[in-house]
């Protein structure tokens, strides 16, 4: 319906900005707002979906027009009219000034003519020769003055004409760009919604349709329909990969092994009857807030620079999330007891994968640590290790981490989080190396994390994927392991979240095949023979590895009961923010906004979060002011870590300089900054 039809064909109106759009069944749509309700019926389900999509887009536009202060891209047409009025006002002012110049020009011409007449009359008088020459010179200057004033007014008129023509062109270009952007945004949202509708229809299809003759099956009669699980909610921004590229560049064939014993299960928790830790936290409140309304103006920015309310956080700091890497620390305890370095490499690889298992359902954002914030995890009595983290840089955000275990290993890392919001997905790229050294053998392993991607930012269910390669190197023996995290693909028959890898000696000879998923388990299979296979359909020649029966390296622990209402925290995560006596006053457990959020007091937490961030900015300004008066530079100096050049990677990293646990024993925290 157009504006012209409103007067004679419209039976009523409804404000879409405040309207509730619902669907009764396959074809009906219900619109309600302010006590008025409309029941609409489409001829087919597809047509109903098109109408719902169009109404949702129109509602979004109406909200933008109503609430332009929260959306830079809202009110496209009023903004255009405002810009047009401003330009017209400017041109009107210029024209007025041009009229003033014309009036002045007329006066100059009038007085200039009178002056020249007077000078001509003077020339006719009988005056000495020298006086006549001077009068003639003045006359010529008056003529030049009149010519110059005429040139000035002509130039002003040309400038106004040029400004008018260019303003019209600029307006057309600006309007075209605005229309293109609006069209792209609406197309993206429409495609995402249609995509989700198709996925729902696919999932809700009758189960018996799977085994119809049209569905390809394997020799055993099992359908090859790929397992989508939660990942099926991906939007159209998914990168598509050929199924062959998702599969490893090798084929494994299991050989019989009469001497093979039952697999070594390295997943059992070594329970210790020590302090009882908490097993639950307050349930997550049901707060509704539109993520897209906040993040749409932040495309391309660093995640750490986006002002986010706690509504999208989980009540843990990034330092605590980093400490969660230790959930399967017993893998390293077992690796420390390995005499064979290649078997040790398998366990180290399984440990590197296990750190991602906690992320599969964790779509909320951890708190960005304040500069100087620390987090300790003392599990010396229970599991033999102590962990300390410190936020050593704010821009870019970087955390240093050190873990020492009495069971034969030390782990340290400095992680800088680089993140970009791309519109409908968020890329999180941890930068920095992870170091692990075993005390007995001196084996020193180094690896880096892969990229994490949060999908469906605009619409649909948020889900996380991991993709990329992890190259683990034992710098003492030069043995290697390459792990491939296959990105999710609609067209792949492989299991989602698949991880494959090969463990090789210093000569490049393969000894173990690793396989599994980053959210469930990893297995290793010893290679007994390898050969070059025939070329595939793509011309790639794959290596065929004959292996023994796989052994379980790692298995994910089940989530605690009611975890879905507690931010999907694991058993370890539930204990990380538990109050602890004697910790430094910069510890994440003492951060007030995070504590308020965990208690369910989100409004108070948001106020406290703003206070802490402003306090941090004030500290930085004060530090910079003091540095300008001092001889040395005013860069922040971490308390428990210092920068050193790593001898293996050549990188400058923060490493633990000691002293934290000794200070805790004495309760000597006087050097720690006041950040909360």
Residue-wise pLDDT tens digits, 292-342: 555 555 565 555 556 678 888 999 999 999 999 999 999 999 999 999 999
Q: How many domains does the chain have?
A: 3
Q: Where does residue 133 rank: exposed (0-12), middle (13-18), buried (19+ CB within 10 A)?
A: exposed
The whole-angstrom separation of Cα 285 and Cα 602 is: 8
In a domain, 243, yes or no: no
Q: How far apart (Å, rounded) are the C-alpha atoms in residues 137 and 115?
A: 13
For residue 275, count CB atoms less than 10 angstroms from its CB and return exposed for 0-12, middle for 13-18, buried for 19 or more.
exposed
Work out whether the CA dihedral 114, 119, 124, 125 comes out positive or negative.
positive
Residue 15 neighbours by CB under 8 Å, 6+ apart:
33, 34, 62
3-class DSSP state for residue 606?
helix
DSSP string, 500-544: EEEEE-TTS-EEEEEEEETTTEEEEEEEEEEEEEEE-TTS-EEEE
Pairing of strands 398-405, 385-393: antiparallel
The whole-number pLDDT of residue 215 equals 38
What is the pLDDT, as a whole number, of residue 240? 32
Same-domain pairing of 197 and 261: no
Residues 113 and 48 occupy one common structural domain:
no
Does residue 163 lie in a domain region?
A: yes
Same domain assignment for residues 48 and 97? no
Q: What are phi and psi of 383, to 5 degrees?
A: -130, 5
Query: Which residue matches tokens 């099926």?
Result: 232
Query: Does residue 453 sit in helix, strand or coil?
Result: strand
Claim to verify: residue 106 and residue 31 sit in the same structural domain? no
Numbers of helices and strands, H then E, in the chain: 14, 23
Are 40 and 116 found together in one domain?
no
User: Among the residues of 359-472, which ranges form H helices?
Assistant: 380-383
User: 182 and 40 in one domain?
Assistant: no
The C-alpha atoms of residue 480 and residue 472 are separated, in whole angstroms, by 6
Say whether both 55 and 86 belong to one domain: no
Residue ranges making up the domain that contains 363:
251-666
Residues 158 and 273 in one domain: no
Read off the pLDDT of residues 469-502 as tens digits, 9 standing for 90 and up: 999 999 999 999 999 999 887 777 788 999 999 9
For residue 363, give the CATH number of its domain: 2.40.160.120
Q: Give the chain's length.
A: 676
pLDDT at 482: 96
Outline where 278-361 has alpha helix (H).
Answer: 291-295, 318-323, 330-336, 341-354
Are residues 293 and 153 located together in one domain of the fold?
no
Q: Are the C-beta atoms of residues 640 and 656 closer than 8 Å to each other?
A: yes
- Judge if 410 and 555 occupy the same domain: yes
CA–CA dist 640, 620 (Å, integer): 19
Residue 229 maps to a domain? no
List the structure tokens of 172: 């057309």
Quick one: 25 and 107 in the same domain?
A: no
In a domain, 447, yes or no: yes
Q: Please count the other Cβ atoms lying within 10 Å of the Cβ belonging to residue 323.
A: 24
CA distance 522 to 500: 9
In this structure, the number of other CB atoms found within 10 A of the CB of residue 448 comes to 18
Q: Where are the alpha helices (DSSP H) in 22-128?
A: 45-66, 76-124
Does some domain include residue 76? no
Q: Is the pTM of this model over 0.75?
A: no
Task: Look at residue 367 and give its three-state secondary structure.
Answer: strand
Do 353 and 492 fall into the same domain? Answer: yes
- The answer to the question of residue 135 being in a domain is yes
pLDDT in the model for residue 507: 95
Q: Which residues of the chain have pLDDT under 50?
A: 69-79, 208-247, 258-271, 631-634
Report the SS3 class of residue 357.
helix
Structure tokens at 155: 């130039």
Q: Which two tokens stand for residue 166?
A: 């260019």
Q: Evaluate whether residue 384 is within a structural domain.
A: yes
208 occurs within a structural domain: no
Exposure letters 554-570 (e unless 16+ CB within 10 A, then b) = bbbbebeeebeebbbbb
């Amino acid at each position: 319906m157009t504006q012209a039809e409103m007067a004679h064909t419209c039976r009523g109106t409804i404000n879409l900005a405040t309207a509730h759009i619902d669907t009764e069944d396959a074809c009906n749509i219900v619109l309600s707002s302010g006590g008025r309700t409309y029941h609409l019926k489409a001829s087919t389900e597809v047509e109903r979906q098109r109408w719902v999509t169009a109404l949702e887009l129109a509602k979004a536009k109406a909200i933008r027009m109503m609430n332009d202060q929260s959306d830079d891209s809202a009110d496209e047409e009023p903004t255009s009219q405002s810009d047009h009025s401003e330009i017209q006002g400017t041109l009107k002012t210029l024209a007025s000034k041009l009229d003033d110049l014309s009036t002045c020009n007329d006066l100059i011409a009038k007085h200039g003519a009178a002056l020249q007449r007077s000078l001509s009359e003077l020339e006719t008088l009988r005056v000495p020769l020298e006086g006549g020459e001077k009068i003639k010179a003045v006359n010529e200057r008056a003529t030049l003055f009149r010519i110059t004033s005429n040139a000035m007014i002509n130039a002003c008129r040309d400038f106004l004409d040029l400004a008018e023509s260019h303003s019209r062109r600029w307006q057309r270009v600006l309007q075209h760009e605005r229309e293109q952007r609006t069209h792209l945004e609406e197309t993206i949202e429409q495609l995402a919604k249609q995509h989700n509708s198709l996925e729902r229809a696919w999932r809700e299809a009758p189960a018996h349709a799977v085994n119809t003759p049209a569905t390809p099956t394997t020799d055993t009669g099992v359908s090859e329909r790929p397992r989508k699980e939660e990942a099926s909610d991906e939007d159209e921004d998914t990168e598509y990969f050929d199924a062959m590229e998702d599969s490893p560049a090798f084929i494994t064939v299991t050989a019989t092994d009469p001497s093979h014993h039952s697999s070594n299960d390295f997943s059992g928790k070594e329970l210790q009857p020590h302090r009882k830790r908490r097993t639950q936290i307050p349930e997550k409140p049901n707060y509704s807030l539109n993520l897209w309304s906040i993040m749409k103006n932040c495309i391309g920015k660093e995640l750490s620079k986006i002002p986010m309310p706690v509504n999208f956080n989980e009540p843990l700091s990034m330092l605590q999330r980093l400490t969660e890497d230790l959930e399967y620390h017993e893998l390293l305890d077992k690796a420390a007891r390995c005499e064979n370095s290649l078997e040790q490499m398998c366990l180290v690889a399984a440990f590197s994968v296990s750190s991602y298992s906690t992320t599969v359902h964790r779509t909320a954002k951890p708190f960005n640590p304040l500069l100087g914030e620390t987090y300790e995890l003392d599990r010396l009595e229970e599991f033999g290790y102590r962990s300390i983290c410190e936020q050593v840089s704010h821009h870019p955000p970087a955390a240093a981490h050190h873990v020492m275990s009495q069971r034969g290993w030390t782990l340290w890392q400095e992680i800088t989080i680089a993140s970009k919001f791309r519109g409908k997905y968020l890329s999180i790229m941890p930068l920095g190396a992870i170091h692990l050294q075993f005390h007995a053998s001196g084996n020193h392993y180094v690896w880096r994390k892969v990229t994490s991607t949060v999908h469906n930012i605009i619409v649909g269910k948020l889900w996380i994927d991991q993709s990329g390669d992890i190259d683990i190197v034992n710098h003492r023996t030069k043995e290697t392991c390459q792990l491939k995290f296959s990105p999710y693909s609609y067209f792949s028959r492989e299991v989602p979240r698949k991880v494959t890898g090969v463990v090789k000696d210093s000569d490049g000879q393969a000894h173990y095949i690793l396989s599994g998923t980053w959210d469930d388990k990893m297995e290793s299979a010893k290679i007994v023979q390898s050969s070059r296979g025939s070329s595939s359909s793509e011309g790639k020649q794959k290596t065929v590895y004959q292996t023994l029966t796989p052994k379980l390296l790692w298995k994910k622990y089940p989530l605690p009961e009611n975890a879905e209402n507690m931010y999907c925290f694991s058993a370890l995560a539930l204990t990380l923010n538990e109050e602890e006596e004697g910790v430094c006053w910069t510890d994440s457990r003492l951060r007030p906004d995070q504590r308020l959020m965990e208690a369910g007091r989100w409004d108070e937490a948001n106020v406290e979060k703003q206070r802490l961030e402003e306090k941090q900015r004030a500290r930085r300004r004060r530090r910079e002011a003091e540095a300008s008066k001092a001889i040395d530079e005013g860069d922040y100096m971490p308390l428990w870590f210092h920068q050193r050049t790593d001898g293996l990677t050549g990188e400058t990293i923060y490493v633990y300089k000691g002293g934290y646990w000794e200070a805790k024993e004495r309760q000597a925290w006087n050097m720690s900054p006041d950040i909360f």
